[in-house]
Amino acid sequence: MAKQANILLIYTGGTIGMVRDTKTGALKAFNFDNLLKQIPELNLLNCTISSVALEDPIDSSNMCPKYWVQIANLIKDNYEDYTGFVVLHGSDTMSYTASALSFMLENLCKPVVFTGSQLPIGDLRTDAKENLITSIEMASLMQGDEPLIKEVCLYFEYKLYRGNRTTKMNSEHFEAFDSPNYPDLAESGVHLKVSKKHLLKADLCHQLKVRTNFSTDVGILKMFPGISEQLVQAVLNTNNLRGLILETYGAGNATTADWFVKLLIDAIAKGIHIVNVTQCVAGSVNMGHYETSTELKSIGVISGKDITTEAAITKLMYLLSFNFNRKEFKFNYERPLRGEMF
């Protein structure tokens, strides 16, 4: 008989943790101590559920590495006592946090499932209950005495995704997220259908290691027709800049103007790591495929391959904490660490 799962809910803030006062219409924080009373369907799940919240739950627009560390430490401190974790988070920056946690939680052998909602948990047409119930069910899946899922995921509107492969696509629809370059890990319908072949294979030989150092000396520059030399120069001359995500066209293409290439060469010579990611929702950077990206490759720009911008910036912040030399940094950035790229 399979071991019963023991799930810890971690509330960070966001719409899913709010209920509407029926008299005033104002939103107030949900009391997760009364979770089983408010959502009796949870009693049908084959697991036990506990909850904890950040000391000061926040709107996800205020999410930053300080809170990533708090979430990671809550998982670390409770890792031996629970078989899985469900993190309740505002949807706006959920893909950033899920990506960051995937890099922070080295040798993770248990599920960490992020979820949220578009409507508060007490609203008549809320998506919060389904997202919460199924996220807990996903985190509770066992294979013998071990959790079936052993990675950081994101569940929203009937689909479970690899967290560092997601991006928020819609601010109004319940289908708010997508994983454009990697298949869904599971789908919730009449039955839960898990695609086991797409799950990350965990290294069971090593203990969990939580990496909490991040560098915020980074930036994102999106290319657009008519971008000026002054703007690019201002970004690259930002004090203490150590890494830059360059959002280019198509398969990694950018202007070949002499001034642009020279600014990148000078920045790389100063030790700034520049990563090329595509502006396209789906697809991959393939530097050298077109003439307009060949020069970027030749001057040492790093290929982000098919990584999302959310995973690209958090991976950049994470790897900068290791103080790699340029060759080591490029090698580690261009290889998948947690299934975030091919």
Mean pLDDT of the chain: 94
41-63 per-position pLDDT tens digit: 888 998 999 999 998 889 999 99
pLDDT of residue 37: 73
* Per-residue model confidence as pLDDT tens digits over 115-139: 999 998 878 888 999 999 999 999 9
Q: Can 294 be counted among the known catalytic residues? A: no
Is-contact 155 135, C-beta < 8 A? yes
Residues in the chain: 342
The predicted pLDDT at position 244 comes to 98
Span between the terminal Cα atoms of the chain, in Å:
37
Query: Span 293-311, mean pLDDT?
Result: 96
Q: Which pair of tokens denotes residue 307?
A: 């990584």
pLDDT of residue 260: 97
The arithmetic mean of pLDDT across residues 94-113, rounded, is 98
Model confidence pLDDT, tens digit, residues 138-173: 999 999 999 999 999 999 999 999 999 999 999 989
Nearest to 98 by CA among 308, 333, 282, 302: 308
- Residue 43 CB-density burial (10 A; 0-12 exposed, 13-18 middle, 19+ buried): exposed
Per-residue pLDDT averaged across 188-192, rounded? Answer: 93
**Predicted local distance difference test score (pLDDT) of residue 339:** 98
What domains appear along the chain, each with residue ranges and CATH number? Answer: 5-210 (3.40.50.1170), 218-333 (3.40.50.40)
Q: Give the C-alpha separation, 148 to 146, whole Å.
A: 6
Triad 214, 217, 219: Cα angle to 5°? 110
* Per-residue confidence (pLDDT) for residue 314, from 0 to 100: 98
Alpha-carbon torsion (115, 120, 125, 130), positive or negative: positive
* Residue 224 Cα distances to 2, 147, 178, 231, 253, angstroms: 54, 45, 24, 11, 11
Residue-level pLDDT at 186? 98
Q: What pLDDT shows up at residue 125?
A: 87
Tokens at 274, concatenated: 């520049």
Q: How many CB atoms lie within 10 A of CB 88?
A: 29
Helix residue ranges per DSSP H, 125-273: 128-140, 229-236, 258-269
Specify the pTM: 0.95
Estimate to the nearest angstrom the gap between the alpha carbon of 272 and the chain centroid. 24
Among 18, 22, 33, 38, residue whose Cα is nearest residue 118: 18
Of the candidates 15, 97, 309, 314, the residue annotated as catalytic is 15
Tokens of 176: 């708010």
